[in-house]
Structure 1
Amino acid sequence: MSGNLSLLLEDLSRLVRTESPSTDLDAVGRSARVVADLVHERLGRRPEILCVDGVDHVLLRGADPKVMLLGHHDTVWPLGTLDELPYTETAGVVSGPGCFDMKLGLVQAIHALAWLRRCRGTGVLDQVTLLITGDEELGSTTSRALIEQEAGRCRAALVLEAAGPGGALKTGRKGVSLYRIEVLGRAAHSGLDPEKGVNATIAIAEVVLAIAQLADPAAGTTVTPTVMSSGTTPNTVPATATVAVDVRAGTAEEQHRVDRAIREVAPVLVPAEIRVRGGINRPPMERSAAAALFSQAQRIARRLGHPPLEEMTVGGASDGNFTAGMGVPTLDGLGAVGGGAHARDEHAEIAWILPRTRLLTTLIEELAEF
């Protein structure tokens, strides 16, 4: 494969300079159009832009797909970030909001398909489905059904999220559960008759302590109470309190254990009402879903003369959790090599771009059996 690095970087610059914060649907819509134009220009086919509950997703569906390429074009960065953190190419590093997570991965996928199309003909595109969603950073609430629908037609899913340190592929991801727990007490004047109140602050404190005990470090299960609020004024017994809880688990069994336990938690000292909203968001991506694909990628890397491929399991989730949860063989972390996801030092290393694009291209070629 003879990749055109200059053209690839030009396309990356175009995507990064199109800001696409998940929470701004107009910006996501503009980004989807730019992504769709890029796909059309490089592959000669116009993808669909599917709007689901106001969120735009880009889909190029193969007629008889064997491989799914999966990514997202939304980012965590608000509009105007480019003014502070512009797109740059300096000293072998690309930087800019969303370059690492995960716009470079999108460009690599498009260029891998473009190379296969040039070498193998337009029929290549019938064997592959490319799905680029617009709400991954928010939990993929509008795209999950689409992801699962398209993955169900394929024999493998390749996820273009960024690689781990040193280019490690991601063969395991913890499942994610998200909760919002509300405690309902009763207000009263804290000086005149506090005994008439039911103190939601005390009750939520009990709940938080009980929930934190559900973690199991030996199993790799984390249960983290995060954002909490309570009360209205300093002289009022709080009538309501809320806490958000983030749960990460390596197996479905652990994920369901914690889910059941959270729904059974109740305060002891204060007779308050508990309401639990939310639940399991993404199932775990267990290594068994990636093992065969990782071995195949290792063989390809050796054949191409690349450094030995490493693998890792991470706490963060991706849309690969959905495909793996369906039983579709899934390999993740095939995108950018660099660091700083969601941070001001977000960057990708240029030296890795063409070798990883070659790896991806060959993996697609083998899986689709061109």
Structure 2
Amino acid sequence: MTLRDALPVRTDAMLDDLRTLVETESPSRDPEALATSARAVAALVESRLGGRATVIANEGGSHVHWSGGGDPKVLLLGHHDTVFPLGTLARRPFAVRDGRATGPGVFDMLGGLVQGVHGLAALDDLSGVELLVTADEEVGSRSSRALLEERALACGAVLVLEGAADGGGLKTARKGCGTFTVTITGRAAHAGLEPETGVNALVEAAHQVLAIAAFGRPEAGTTVVPSVAAAGTASNVVPAQATVAVDVRVETAEEKERVEAAFAGLTPYLEGALVEVRGAVDRPPMPESAATGLFALARTLLPGVEGRAVGGGSDGNFTAALGVPTLDGLGAVGGGAHADHEYLLVDAMAERADLVTGLVRAIRNG
């Protein structure tokens, strides 16, 4: 069994729906904008699939859940929040030219949502299918994690509509990821008159950054990257406060435990300084074993499609950690996630929607 030929009219319809979602800006941590976006997602789902899409209000944004009824068998999972602030659309409006769709969020991951909905719309029977579109994936999924884990366990199989890997590959493994924040407290003093009476939080932070960077183990797939730092109030004041944010990626549960223990063991270098650490590797690694069966199904539908292990995390990390079969990267083929050159390849849209159709049918019949 392979995918049927894509029809141009389906691509046109998908592009119309993609324009609607892109032009409804949805930055993370903006509840009002996310509520408006959730209503747009719900309207799109209802217009293409029928039934009723439930908008679940939350302090961090509104999630959207839809069910085709019957015994749940497969969950399509995505998010409608994006990393781009309000006003980005005015600078970078939705456009289609030279085979590419561009605009904030087209690849990560509004294009995947549209393709998933159209893939479901091609089914004669939607029983056993659920769709969950969350509002906080880009900022840690704190308000949606319990719900997405609940629905994943109920359905027993998860298809994640995140953008494809390079070259259109499916994502069969992901690193676990998390952010740590290290806060250093020192003591202020006049930098010219009596610097020796102060405790320089910036100097302490420099020591901590070097120690933290050494936690990485590239040979084990572990990256530990100090990424954002802030300190001080004025050039003539010994800084009393400093913060350092650190991005962490790991491939195994053992490395997760090692890195978290290393952060917990940080101690001050300077007498009188205090060091406080918050954070964790809160998205567990997604092992290749979680995707094995579903990826094999995908290759019967789209022969030659590659499976890729990637460094970025998604909500598929959570569902895979529960032991639920999970296949990721089923969304848009393109690139430039989180960047101004973000794009989606128009010619791949129908084929990827058809892949969703075929996978859902095979899972339900299995």
TM-score, L = length of structure 2: 0.94
- What is the CA–CA distance in structure 2 between the aligned matches of 1:108 and 1:311, rounded to whole Å? 19
Q: Structure 1 residue 9: deviation in Å?
A: 1.6
Deviates more, 1:234-243 or 1:63-72: 234-243
- What is the CA–CA distance in structure 1 between the aligned matches of 2:40 and 2:215, rounded to whole Å? 45
Q: Structure 1 residue 321: deviation in Å?
A: 0.8
- What is the CA–CA distance in structure 1 between the aligned matches of 2:364 and 2:86, rounded to whole Å? 39
SS of corresponding position for 2:57: strand
Out of 85, 91, 106, the residue aligned to residue 84 of structure 1 is: 91
Provide, for residues 48-77 of structure 1, a one-character-per-residue CA deviation record: whole Å limited to 9, x for no partner: 000122410000134421101000111112
| 2:58 aligned residue | 52
Amino acid at match of 1:164: A
Out of 303, 307, 312, the residue aligned to residue 311 of structure 1 is: 307
Asked whether the 8 Å contact 2:71–2:128 carries over to 1, the reply is yes
Deviates more, 1:77-86 or 1:219-228: 77-86
| 1:340 aligned residue | 336
Provide, for residues 131-168 of structure 1, a one-character-per-residue CA deviation record: whole Å limited to 9, x for no partner: 00111111112111111111110221100000012110
- Structure 2 residue 276 is matched with structure 1 residue 275: yes
- What is the CA–CA distance in structure 2 between the aligned matches of 1:203 and 1:340, rounded to whole Å? 36
- What is the CA–CA distance in structure 2 between the aligned matches of 1:356 and 1:39, rounded to whole Å? 18
- What is the CA–CA distance in structure 2 between the aligned matches of 1:353 and 1:218, rounded to whole Å? 37
| 1:102 aligned residue | 109
SS of corresponding position for 1:214: coil
Out of 340, 345, 348, the residue aligned to residue 349 of structure 1 is: 345
Q: Structure 1 residue 282: deviation in Å?
A: 0.7
- What is the CA–CA distance in structure 2 between the aligned matches of 1:149 and 1:113, rounded to whole Å? 21
SS of corresponding position for 2:182: strand
Provide, for residues 192-243 of structure 1, a one-character-per-residue CA deviation record: whole Å limited to 9, x for no partner: 3322222212211111111110000101100011111122222222222111
Deviates more, 1:85-94 or 1:145-154: 85-94
Q: 1:54 to 1:63 in 2, by over 3 A?
A: farther
Q: Structure 1 residue 94: deviation in Å?
A: 1.3
Provide, for residues 66-114 of structure 1, a one-character-per-residue CA deviation record: whole Å limited to 9, x for no partner: 1010001111122222222221221222111111111111111111111
| 1:112 aligned residue | 119
- What is the CA–CA distance in structure 2 between the aligned matches of 1:96 and 1:230, rounded to whole Å? 35
- What is the CA–CA distance in structure 1 between the aligned matches of 2:135 and 2:97, rounded to whole Å? 29
| 1:285 aligned residue | 286
Asked whether the 8 Å contact 1:203–1:270 carries over to 2, the reply is no
Asked whether the 8 Å contact 1:199–1:270 carries over to 2, the reply is no
Q: State how 1:1-370 maps to structure 2 within 5 Å.
A: 3=7, 4-61=10-67, 62-116=69-123, 119-120=124-125, 124=126, 126-302=127-303, 308-369=304-365
Amino acid at match of 2:23: R
SS of corresponding position for 1:52: coil
SS of corresponding position for 2:282: strand
SS of corresponding position for 1:327: coil
Q: Sequence identity, in percent?
A: 52
Deviates more, 1:337-346 or 1:256-265: 337-346
SS of corresponding position for 1:86: coil
- What is the CA–CA distance in structure 2 between the aligned matches of 1:247 and 1:206, rounded to whole Å? 18
- Give the unaligned 5+ runs of structure 2: none
- What is the CA–CA distance in structure 1 between the aligned matches of 2:11 and 2:188, rounded to whole Å? 64
Amino acid at match of 1:76: V
Asked whether the 8 Å contact 1:74–1:134 carries over to 2, the reply is yes
Amino acid at match of 2:255: E
Asked whether the 8 Å contact 1:8–1:108 carries over to 2, the reply is yes
SS of corresponding position for 2:281: strand
- What is the CA–CA distance in structure 1 between the aligned matches of 2:14 and 2:131, rounded to whole Å? 18
Asked whether the 8 Å contact 2:60–2:135 carries over to 1, the reply is no
Amino acid at match of 1:290: A
Deviates more, 1:236-245 or 1:332-341: 236-245
- What is the CA–CA distance in structure 1 between the aligned matches of 2:313 and 2:13, rounded to whole Å? 31
Deviates more, 1:189-198 or 1:60-69: 189-198
- What is the CA–CA distance in structure 1 between the aligned matches of 2:307 and 2:263, rounded to whole Å? 32
- What is the CA–CA distance in structure 2 between the aligned matches of 1:341 and 1:257, rounded to whole Å? 30
- What is the CA–CA distance in structure 1 between the aligned matches of 2:27 and 2:358, rounded to whole Å? 32
Aligned length: 359
- What is the CA–CA distance in structure 2 between the aligned matches of 1:238 and 1:217, rounded to whole Å? 33
Asked whether the 8 Å contact 2:29–2:60 carries over to 1, the reply is no
TM-score, L = length of structure 1: 0.93
SS of corresponding position for 1:178: strand
Q: 1:366 to 1:78 in 2, by over 3 A?
A: same
| 1:305 aligned residue | none
